Chains A and B, each alone.
Chain A
Amino acid sequence: MTWETHHEFAAQTYVVTRADLVRYAGASGDFNPIHWSDRVAISVGLPGVVAHGMYTLALASRALTSWVQDPARVVSFGGRFTKPVVVPDDDEGTEVVVSGRVTSLDDGIATIGLTVTNRGQKVLAKTEATVRC
């Protein structure tokens, strides 16, 4: 697979509902109640239940994997958690949008910068992957 610098990948949109957070809590082992109890989330100053940062980062990794196809080519991947994704208690949930582009190419390694937004605001910062071309 070869890309040019500044290559833009197709943005991916994922819907997040409360049921997704419950499922992720079980699969990951992170049962922090701010991810399933409005009472606890509000008591620590949040507007309500928020997604696990690692769930949002996993959605970004899902987009990355759809772009690079083979996960074995990924050398590194990560991001900083800057804003919580508030997930309402309804059937519609909220949308997380992941876009990405190649920011540099160096000696067979592509650096991909990802932008992850919810309700028009960035929720992760410095989200970046390095991938073998």
Chain B
Amino acid sequence: MPLDQALAGRTFASTPPYTVSVEKIAEFTTAIGADTSQGAEVAPLTFPIVVAFRAMAALLTDPEVGIELHNVVHGDQRFAQTRPIRAGDEITATLTVDSLRSAAGMDMIGTRTEIASVTGEHLGTAHATLVHRGGGK
């Protein structure tokens, strides 16, 4: 079953505030093998995926949407950065389905996740295309 076209344009609930710690930045930086000798005040470029991933869960686990999680492949990922995320930031992520195209048994779900501080400062936008097999026909 292809996903319902009504999904396009839908915005999901924002993630609860996430406080970015020096320890979390150091953990992520070490995990990608990068240097932490200069400290871990500034998060690596792809760090926003930590909260973007949580925002994605709202879409992927919503029973009314009907996505089968094991059939989802990450197609692409892009980040627009307003400023780097820093230790001490309290951030939330809000996902919107920008586009939905179903063809040949696949749903191509274009998502946009806005990442902002709880004080309303825009920090960046994460764009992901999720490919859901089992749609189409």
Contacts and interface: CB of A to CB of B under 8 A. Distances in A.
Interface of A: 14, 20, 23-24, 26-30, 44, 53-55, 57-59, 61-62, 64-65, 71-72, 74-81, 126
A24 B49 CA distance: 12
A74 B38 CA distance: 19
Interface of B: 27-28, 30-34, 42, 44-46, 49-50, 53-54, 70, 73-81, 83-84, 127, 129
Nearest to B82: A75
Contact of B80 (A27, A54, A57, A76): A76
Interface residues of A, dominant DSSP: helix
Contact of A65 (B44, B49, B75): B44
Interface residues of B, dominant DSSP: mixed
Nearest to B32: A58
Contacts of A79: 76-78
A65 B32 CA distance: 12
Contact of A54 (B54, B73, B77): B77
A29 B81 contact: no
